[in-house]
């Protein structure tokens, strides 16, 4: 993490006071700096002497305000150690973070560049010993993890059943006690850049979900704008790009989005633009800068409204995990404007590839994995606590070229057949896969730390409790902010949601 990126931490979220709590030194770019920790309420201030620091950050996170500039240290960047300072204080004011131009879909199949994986031999599940350059020996700080989940407003149209389980899922089926945040997917906007409901009964379902705060007072409900289909169909795929290009149209959109949030008593807005500057999805090169400006101006509008006495709205984004899309957005510039990132670390491979692959690979050799995506965002200066790690309650499926060749990396002719509930080729819920694949045909891939399974010529990539644990351990190890699920309606009885939540609560 760069020094400038660290300085930026001061300005995000609510202010809190570290006075009287432990401090020490954190090695950054081969320098030692004062690093203080705290949880109690307070207001931003400056370090008093060498031991007290009042700082701005979230209630449970490490925070820093001013630094003690010491001689070069022998420890590597990321190491924490206690030491009494013996040099003069050097105060650093806030600074712009320099640009660093450095996936997923939320709905139906996405056509992506061919990125074939080599065949992986499956093996027994073994403890994960993978290391990363972002490892840190700093003291453990108790940081509650967020549990974010998308609810899809089209799940109400599933009318079949499977093994006694009714596929149809409505707002009435939601258990609000198992998550912290529900993103309502999706609402859209028209050619006047005005938000509007998409489904005929959105105006009924959204209030139902908001009313669930009576059962979970800490629940946050956001409207997610866009989604895969919005950026796929010709009638709408250019709208994000057109809206974001000019200041006047950005202002119209922002005002409309905030009005929509207030109309339904929502807690915020989630921007799901898939994807800026992706020409196949209606994007243009200008989107790279436009996206940053959109988020900057949205943040300014939220702060201005909050300054007039209203509760501050949350602003989040659904962000790509594929390197071909990450390179088109200015992560290092815009992350300061958003509350967190819902990182879509799924759909890394799918039926758009000529061979089978892991769509949620934790690790990979082709640069397309959960770890590669998280590393890219951390390298761009995003605080780890701002990253919600995406986890999928569904699998990606292929039709094998030969049913006898069913390993990771086997040749395929296209997407698998559609499922009884989801009704989409190449995309099945985990419970549909469970009903289809014999247990003896489910294999663990030791390289990607994910599962795959097959029946005749049908092949699927997915996660199970065993492999979700690898991801939960990774989330804890990286000190990420929490987990994001796609989606609530794909998890039968919330079995995996509850399991993963129980794991990350132990971080």
The Cα–Cα gap between 431 and 414 comes to 22
Q: Which residues of 153-185 are buried (b: 16+ CB within 10 A; e: fewer)?
A: bebbebeeebeeeebebbbeebebebbbbbbbb
Specify which residues 27 forms β-bridges with.
Answer: 32
Collapsing DSSP to helix, strand or coil, 145 comes out as: coil
Tell me how many degrees the CA angle 291-296-300 measures, rounded to the nearest 5: 145
| 122 contacts: CB under 8 Å, gap ≥ 6 | 407, 408, 443, 444, 445, 446, 452
Q: What letter would DSSP give residue 411?
A: B
Q: What letter would DSSP give residue 256?
A: H
Asked if 91 and 333 count as a contact pair (C-beta separation under 8 A), the reply is no
Dihedral sign from CA coordinates of 249, 290, 391, 118: positive
Q: What letter would DSSP give residue 312?
A: P
Annotation says 199 is catalytic: no
Q: How far apart are the first and last CA of the chain?
A: 22
Q: Which tokens belong to 222?
A: 């956001």
Collapsing DSSP to helix, strand or coil, 428 comes out as: strand
The Cα–Cα gap between 174 and 169 comes to 8
What values do phi and psi take at 304, rounded to 5? Answer: -65, -45
The Cα–Cα gap between 33 and 66 comes to 8
Which is the catalytic residue, given 107, 117, 274, 330?
A: 274
Torsion over CA of 296, 297, 302 and 304, rounded to 10 degrees?
120
HSE-up of 123 (CA within 13 Å, CB side)? Answer: 9
Collapsing DSSP to helix, strand or coil, 447 comes out as: coil
Asked if 347 and 108 count as a contact pair (C-beta separation under 8 A), the reply is no
HSE-up of 394 (CA within 13 Å, CB side)? Answer: 30
Collapsing DSSP to helix, strand or coil, 39 comes out as: coil
The Cα–Cα gap between 320 and 288 comes to 13
DSSP string, 161-216: EETTEE----GGG--GGG-SEEEEEEEEE-TT--EE--STTHHHHHHHHHHGGGT-
Question: How many other C-beta atoms can be found within 10 angstroms of the C-beta atom of residue 248?
Answer: 9
The Cα–Cα gap between 383 and 10 comes to 11
HSE-up of 292 (CA within 13 Å, CB side)? Answer: 18
**Which residues are identified as catalytic?**
274
């Amino acid at each position: 993490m760069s020094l400038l990126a660290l300085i930026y931490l001061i300005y995000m979220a609510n202010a809190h006071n570290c006075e009287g709590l432990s401090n020490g030194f954190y090695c950054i770019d081969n320098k030692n700096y004062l690093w203080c920790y705290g949880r109690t309420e307070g207001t931003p201030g400056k370090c008093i002497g060498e031991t007290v620091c009042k700082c701005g950050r979230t209630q449970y996170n490490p925070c820093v305000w001013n630094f003690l500039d010491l001689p070069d240290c022998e420890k590597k960047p990321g190491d924490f150690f206690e030491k009494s300072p013996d040099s003069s204080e050097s105060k650093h004011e806030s600074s712009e973070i320099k640009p660093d131009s450095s996936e997923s879909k939320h709905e139906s199949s996405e056509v992506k560049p061919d990125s074939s994986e080599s065949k992986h031999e499956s093996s027994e599940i073994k403890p994960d010993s993978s290391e990363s350059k972002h490892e840190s020996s700093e003291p453990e700080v108790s940081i509650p993890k967020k549990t974010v989940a998308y609810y899809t407003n089209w799940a109400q149209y599933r009318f079949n059943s499977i093994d006694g389980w009714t596929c149809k899922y409505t707002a009435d089926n939601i258990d609000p006690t198992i998550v912290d945040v529900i993103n309502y997917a999706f609402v859209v906007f028209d050619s006047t850049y005005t938000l509007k409901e998409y489904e005929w009964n959105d105006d009924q379902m959204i209030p139902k979900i908001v009313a669930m705060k009576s059962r979970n007072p800490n629940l946050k409900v956001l409207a997610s704008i866009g989604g895969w289909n919005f950026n796929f169909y010709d009638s709408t795929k250019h709208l994000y790009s057109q809206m974001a290009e000019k200041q006047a149209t950005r202002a119209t959109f922002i005002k409309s989005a905030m009005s929509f949030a207030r109309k339904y008593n929502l807690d915020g807005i989630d921007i799901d633009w898939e994807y800026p500057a992706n020409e196949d999805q209606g994007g243009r090169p200008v989107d790279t800068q436009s996206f940053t400006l959109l988020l900057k101006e949205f943040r300014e509008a939220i702060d201005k409204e909050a300054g007039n006495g209203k509760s501050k709205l949350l602003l989040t984004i659904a962000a790509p995990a594929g390197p071909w899309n990450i390179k088109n957005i200015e992560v290092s510039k815009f992350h300061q404007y958003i509350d967190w990132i819902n990182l879509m670390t799924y759909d890394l491979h799918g039926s758009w590839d000529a061979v089978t692959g892991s769509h949620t690979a934790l690790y990979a050799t082709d640069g397309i994995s959960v770890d590669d995506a998280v590393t890219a965002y951390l390298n761009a200066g995003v605080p780890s606590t701002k990253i919600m790690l995406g986890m999928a309650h569904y699998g990606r499926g292929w039709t094998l070229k030969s049913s006898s060749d069913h390993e990771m990396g086997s040749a395929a002719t296209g997407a698998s057949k559609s499922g009884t509930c989801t009704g989409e080729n190449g995309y099945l819920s985990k419970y549909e896969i469970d009903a289809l694949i014999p247990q003896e045909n489910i294999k663990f891939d030791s390289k990607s730390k994910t599962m795959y399974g097959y029946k005749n010529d049908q092949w699927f990539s997915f996660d199970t409790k065993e492999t979700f644990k690898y991801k939960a351990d990774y989330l804890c190890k990286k000190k990420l902010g929490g987990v994001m699920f796609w989606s609530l309606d794909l998890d039968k009885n919330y079995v995996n949601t509850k399991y993963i939540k129980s794991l990350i609560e132990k971080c």
